[in-house]
Amino acid sequence: MSSNVTAVSYGLKLSLPDIQRLRSLLTAAGLSVGTETRAGDGRFEVYAADCTLDSETPGSETPVSETSGSGNASAPASLTAARLEGPRHTLAASAIDGVDTALVPAGLRNARRKFLILDVDSTLIQQEVIELLAAYAGKREEVTAVTEAAMRGEVDFAQSLHARVAVLAGLPADVVAKVRAEVKLTEGAAELVAAFQAAGHAVAVVSGGFNQTLQPIAEDLGLHYWVANELEIVDGALTGKVLGDVIDRAAKEKHLREWAAAEGIPMEHTIAVGDGANDLDMLGAAGIGIAFNAKPAVRAAADAAVNLPYLDAVRYIAGV
């Protein structure tokens, strides 16, 4: 019996009783477990099981066959994604402490080419750049509170961005370079990007942050696509404004769709990763949306969650 979905579980430690428990949970979620593999590198451990959706699973009357990088979206792949919603909820409700499980359509994991899109602040990098900038204006605590509310979806992102950037008015432009030096990639970020690129996949980042800090990071990583907001600088000082339209949740989804189309990669073969409410649209549009150390509402809406400090856990989910 050929598999049509892979269950990928990951945590700092996966004991034999954990694996046995995971098998039981997968069966209870309507999946038949086939070939199993173990992976990991000392930082975290991974258990993967090729599975089939049981015939009694709602919507499973129609046979499922997956494509592998054909370049065209397929109805079967979409059907599989819809059928995974119930099992995903079941697994999330009965998860083992410290262990998360992603259910990934085989068509995505086996695709010849995939498209990975990443949020930047608190995903690709460890910090929130606006908070680092605000510290130079003596407004870090105030800005952090607004940022956290925006990431929880409690306030409009574009409005909150304009309000937060306004406190930067008058700062000398050289603070941007100072902040850039403070920025650190998330552990595993460079490894994740390199693995996707080495396998011939496309990688992009999209940020509600700022071009001035993102550009050197994107260039160093050799990213295919990237976009962020542009801080306005006049006469060597920040004006407290951004130029052009704000990169908000709608813009993030738009760029995902446009860039994937430009690469000839169907949406079923895209992976989106983010942590905040402004990432929800692209997480929902992607073949699999992954919440990375995310706010509760984002974890609840995403297809999968990584609650480890290592971004390269995503490559195990994607099969790269």
Active site residues: 119, 121
Q: Extract the tokens encoding 154.
A: 């409690």
With vertex at residue 70, the alpha carbon angle to CA 69 and CA 73, rounded to the nearest 5 degrees, is 95
Going by their DSSP bridges, the two strands 45-53 and 31-40 should be labelled as antiparallel
Residues with Cβ within 8 Å of 286's Cβ and at least 6 positions away in sequence, in order, are 117, 256, 267, 270, 271, 272
3-state secondary structure of 35: strand
DSSP assignment letter at 278: G
Query: CA nearest 49: which of 61, 35, 62, 70?
Result: 35
Based on the number of CB atoms within 10 Å of its own CB, is 293 exposed (0-12), middle (13-18) or buried (19 or more)? middle
